[in-house]
Each structure stands twice: as C-alpha cells, then as structure tokens.
Amino acid sequence: MRKFAVATAVAVAALATPAAAQDGGEVRVEARGGIVWAYDESEATAGAAIGYDFDLGETLFVGVEGSLDKVLVDGADAVFGVSSRLGTTTSDAGKLYATLGYTFENDSFYDSIVLGAGYEHKLNDTIYVGAAYRHFFSDFGDLDAATVSVGAAF
C-alpha cells in the first residue's frame, strides 16, 4: 500500500509535467501549524511545505508538494512527506483540493500513507491562508491532523 501511494504521487507529477509548459502554474511556499490527535491524546504540530500547482484548464489543477512537519513534544522526530493534490478553483481567490501522499522519518515505524483535503484562499496576488485535514494510515496506528497555514504563491 505504501508503494502504491508513492507511485501515485510520482505518477500524478509525471502526468502534470506537460501542463508546466502552459502559463498559469505557480510555486507555493507555506508555514503551517495545528493539532494532531490519536485516540484520547492530542499535540500541537508545526511545519512547512513547498509545492507546485499545474493548471489543467480554467478550473482544475494538479500539484506536487514536499513537506516537513514536527509534533511539538520532546523527543518527536521531524516527519518528511511527499504528496500530490488534485483540486478545483472555487473563485478567483479560492482553491479546494484533495491530497494523497506518503510521510516518512528515520524510524520506518512511523511511515504513513496520507489522505486529506484542504482549502486555500488568496488574500492578494501573492499571500494566501489555508486550512487542511489529513488522515495518516500507519502501522503505529491511525492519526489525524488539522492545520491552518499562511503562504506565498509565485
């Protein structure tokens, strides 16, 4: 299943590459924070991501993203992630998307397939705010995360 998620993210990026030649794609850089929870416990989390969205027409887009997130407790490792996303523009300023990815860190015990959804809203030509939900399927046990972000798109 993990290989499937990584292969899917790579395939989406490969399929989207021809769209990069068209105008309308954009690089995104964001900082995010929120909460991660499992069972009866929750902790704060913070992270950053960089990605590229490719336009697939007037309202559809596909993107790729690399991320680094950390649960803010002593001893927690940083978690790296790669993901793809598919979405639609909801207005001149809004983007609604679904995401599929894979996260990993030094101990493969915490590797996870990630499925999620989010919304971004541009405040001006460059700055946007967003909110996202992600579900992590791991051998350790399933986790959930809700984050808010602020970013810049170029």
C-beta of residue 132 within 8 angstroms of C-beta of residue 147: yes
Nearest one of 130, 56, 127, 132 to 100, comparing CA atoms: 132
Least confident of 11-20, 26-35, 90-99, 120-129: 11-20
pLDDT band at 76 (very low <50, low <70, confident <90, very high): confident
Helix (H, G, I), strand (E, B) or coil at 9: helix
For the entire predicted model, the pTM comes to 0.84
End-to-end CA separation in angstroms for the chain? 34
* Most confidently modeled range among 14-28, 30-44, 97-111: 30-44
C-beta of residue 138 within 8 angstroms of C-beta of residue 110? yes
Under the banding of pLDDT at 50, 70 and 90, the label for residue 105 is: confident
Cα dihedral 131, 108, 5, 86 in deg (nearest 10): 20
Residue 88: predicted pLDDT: 98
Yes or no: say if 94 and 118 are a contact pair by the CB < 8 Å rule: no
Judge whether 96 and 119 are in contact, CB under 8 Å: yes
DSSP class of residue 47 equals: E
What CATH architecture does domain 2-17+27-153 belong to?
Beta Barrel (2.40)
